[in-house]
Amino acid sequence: MSHNPPSDPSWFERPQNIQRMIIGLVVVCVLLVFANLFYENPHPHFGKVETFFGFQAWFGFIAFVAVVFLGTLLRPLIKKPEGYYDPEPENEFPRLDRPEDNHPGDEA
Amino acid sequence: MNFLSALPPGWPMIVGGVFLWLLPKRAQAGGALSLAILSGLLFWFTPVLGEGESAKTFSMLGAELQPIRIDSLSRPFGLVFHIAAVVSAIYALHVRDTRQHIAGMVYAGGAIGACCAGDLMTLFVFWELTAISSVFLVWASDTPAAYRAGMRYLIVQVGSGVLLLTGAIIQYVETGSLKFELFVSEGQTLFGDNSISPAAWCVLFAFAIKCAFPLLHNWLQDSYPKATVTGTVFLSAFTTKLAVYSLARGFAGFDPLITVGCVMTLFPIIFAVIENDLRRVLAYSLNNQLGFMVVGVGIGTELAINGTVAHAFCHIIYKSLLFMSVGAVLFRVGTAKATELGGLHKSMPWTTAFCMIGAGAISGFPLLSGFVSKSMIISAAGEEHMFGVWIVLLIASAGVMEHSGIKIPFFAFFAHDSGKRVKEAPWNMLLAMSIAAFSCIALGIAYPLLYRLLPFDVDYHPYTITHVVTQLQLLLFAALAFVALMKSGLYPAEQRAVNLDTDWFYRRLIPKVTRGGQVAIELVDQTFRHDFLLTLRSVLRMIQRSFNVNGWIGQTWSTSTMAFWAATLLAISLVLYYT
């Protein structure tokens, strides 16, 4: 494993491409809401809610934001430093079974 | 052939697995893979029980046992367990650790045997076998933390088995039958006049532990991230889905499960938002997906049970895929913490691609497996007009998009570049991931193949315009919310931290409380012991003084004194004799 300075931005890291991806996402989202105009839900189970214009679109947005905010609110209550249960740092890393790792007694 | 068909499914893995140590080290992984394939082929060709047929029984110690029951409910689970075993064995081909190969095979075979058990006693035996074999996958990490987590895991799992055994015994005493069938009837509740029997209570509790019900869930998040890279892939597939199968068999249509399932889909997503260890995020997400299945079991209609089985089938594959991709990152980088990762798409492009397919499948993007299975459960809630349940499942779907659809791939492979440059995952890991990724796509497109395996006839079409559009709206607007939160800086930053969960109670609180009690006991004990010992010592010293050469008992006495005492003794015995 080598540590290079993050100097070689890939396609996904160039700001203009990120901008393009975001614009693409917004366009698709707008199109999806407009798609609601062109069809009708044949079997709505919950008539008023499900047929509400773009229901799942804004519902998805709000639910996502709510989940993230709830998580942020929960964090101060349950956050503890990393060595809380296991103070020894060498405890953290599982055995990785890399072929180049030699474990005592592994030679057969 | 008769002999072979009398053995429980998965036996090549259990029996063969135990003897894997006889092979040379470099052949063991291949041996394990061959066992899994062999067992899979045998299972595929084992005849299925038709409608109205019942499995062969034989009696042992006065009880009717039914060790093998492969019907339309157990077969899909048996099949997907075999797929998971084969894929996990390919993923572990590079491992040169006898323990892990044996544990993996016995564990997978045990789970397959358990899901094909027709009576509670056979179920119990395999149930405990999965518990005892799987713990070695946690211990194989060889760290003190993994050892302790494994111990906690073992206690919880064996406890679940003991409850199952208790339930089985009560059931046998009450009804005279050990058959594993529905424990509940229409309209039964947990408490009250029409409550379920004590046997059903015990068995339900046993299933609830293994299925990681809320408050009983934490063994999962505690142990899975501490297992080895390959061990976690095995672990993610079997234990909890065996519990889902058992619930579907024993408690289909039991209403309280709907509530439990709803809670289960919601609370893990909030923990997953702030968790730093990506394998732990996946463990929470596993919990959340189990919630969908438990809701399906609780609704209990044909569509809901079909949805549960289909979702379990797809889930095992995409969850393995996600654990495999994060495992590959851990294998190469040495850590799976979001704070340490990022920018890995440059050095692990294949792993990135496979992880994104898994993330898409778990989120339920059209053309991927989650879409065709999860929607059956949500539709089943809709058809029963359970508005609250339906809304909860929609929120949970947006939550899945958050933790598994975006967080896992984004923080591992994109986000800010950590500067880490590693090799791509080994070929066997890539092969295993590609098989799983291909299955995710295949199940999403050729969904009738999956639907044909399900217990009831399916009249469900996932690819309607309404469904595709609404699902895409939900997911893409959730993605839009992520972009908006990231851009505005409101998305919580990843932080190195341990987040508390219910395991705090038994890892911190109970030891602290018992330590307090211990101190009190020690104090009392010390005081009393001191006084007691003092008394004892002085008594001993007195006796010693009396009996030694100069003591009043030990010294030489004169003849007259002896004659006097002898006469006195004789007189006393004479008086005693005549009165």
Give the pLDDT band of residue A5 (cuts 50, 70, 90). low
On whether both B390 and B455 belong to a single domain, the answer is yes
| pLDDT tens-place string over residues B132-160 | 999 999 999 988 889 999 999 999 999 99
On whether both B461 and B511 belong to a single domain, the answer is no
Q: What is the mean pLDDT of residues B566-576?
A: 94
A38, pLDDT greater than 90: no
Burial of B350 (0-12, 13-18, 19+ CB in 10 A): middle
Q: What is the mean pLDDT of residues B6-12?
A: 86
Using the Cβ of A53 and the Cβ atoms of chain B, whether some distance falls under 8 Å is answered with no
Give the pLDDT band of residue A106 (cuts 50, 70, 90). very low
CB contact under 8 A, A39 and B145: no
Q: Looking at this predicted complex, what is its ipTM?
A: 0.87
Q: What is the mean pLDDT of residues B225-247?
A: 94
Q: Which residue has the higher pLDDT, B268 or A90?
A: B268
> Strand locations in B29-176, DSSP E?
58-60, 63-65
A102, pLDDT greater than 60: no
On whether both B331 and B480 belong to a single domain, the answer is yes
Indicate whether B271 belongs to any domain: no
Q: What is the mean pLDDT of residues B346-372?
A: 94
How many angstroms separate the CA of residue A68 from the nearest CA in chain B? 6
Q: The whole model's pTM is what?
A: 0.88
On whether both B525 and B395 belong to a single domain, the answer is no
Residue B10, helix vs strand vs coil: coil
A108, pLDDT greater than 50: no
CB B428 within 8 A of CB A7: no
The length of chain B in residues reads: 579
Of B26, B272, B472, Cβ closest to residue A32: B472
| pLDDT tens-place string over residues B381-427 | 999 999 999 999 999 999 999 989 999 999 999 888 888 888 899 99
CB contact under 8 A, A97 and B94: yes
B13 closest CA partner among B48, B38, B47: B38
Whole-number pLDDT of residue A105: 45
Mean pLDDT, chain B, whole residue set: 91
Using the Cβ of A86 and the Cβ atoms of chain B, whether some distance falls under 8 Å is answered with yes
| pLDDT tens-place string over residues A45-79 | 777 777 778 888 999 999 999 999 999 998 888 88
On whether both B484 and B511 belong to a single domain, the answer is no
Whole-number pLDDT of residue B280: 93
Please give the span between the terminal C-alpha atoms of chain A, in angstroms, as a whole number. Answer: 28
Q: Which of B363, B480, B507 is best to mutate for the A interface (most A CBs within 10 A)?
A: B480
> Strand locations in B341-435, DSSP E?
420-421
Complete DSSP assignment for B203-240: HHHHHHHHTT-TTS-HHHHHHGGGS-HHHHHHHHHSHH
Classify B142 in phi/psi space as left (phi over 0), alpha (psi -120 to 50) or beta. left
| pLDDT tens-place string over residues B276-293 | 999 999 999 999 999 999
Give the pLDDT band of residue B546 (cuts 50, 70, 90). confident
Q: Which residue has the higher pLDDT, B337 or A37?
A: B337
Indicate whether B240 belongs to any domain: no
CB contact under 8 A, B228 and A95: yes
In the block, tokens 């597939």 appear at: B237
The number of domains in chain B is: 2
Tell me which chain B residue has its CA closest to the CA of residue A60.
B474
CB contact under 8 A, A95 and B466: no
On whether both B403 and B439 belong to a single domain, the answer is yes
Q: Which residue has the higher pLDDT, A7 or B257?
A: B257
Distance CA B146, CA B151 (A): 8
Distance CA B312, CA B76 (A): 9
B127, pLDDT greater than 90: yes
Using the Cβ of A96 and the Cβ atoms of chain B, whether some distance falls under 8 Å is answered with yes
Which chain B residues have a beta carbon less than 8 Å from that of A48? none
Of B274, B475, B484, Cβ closest to residue A71: B274
Whole-number pLDDT of residue B562: 87
On whether both B530 and B395 belong to a single domain, the answer is no
Indicate whether B131 belongs to any domain: no
Indicate whether B384 belongs to any domain: yes
On whether both B357 and B471 belong to a single domain, the answer is yes
On whether both B384 and B442 belong to a single domain, the answer is yes
Q: What range does the domain containing B522 cover?
A: 507-542
| pLDDT tens-place string over residues B157-193 | 999 999 999 999 999 999 888 889 899 888 788 888 8
Indicate whether B194 belongs to any domain: no
B2, pLDDT greater than 70: no
CB B334 within 8 A of CB A93: yes
On whether both B474 and B537 belong to a single domain, the answer is no
Whole-number pLDDT of residue B475: 94
Q: Which of B394, B477, B510 is best to mutate for the A interface (most A CBs within 10 A)?
A: B477
A107, pLDDT greater than 50: no
| pLDDT tens-place string over residues B258-277 | 999 999 999 999 999 999 99
Which chain B residues have a beta carbon less than 8 Å from that of A83? 498
Token pair recorded at residue B175: 């009804």
- 3-state SS of B289-314? HHHHHHHHHHHCCHHHHHHHHHHHHH
CB B234 within 8 A of CB B224: no
Complete DSSP assignment for B426-438: PHHHHHHHHHHHH
Of A54, A67, A94, Cβ closest to residue B402: A67
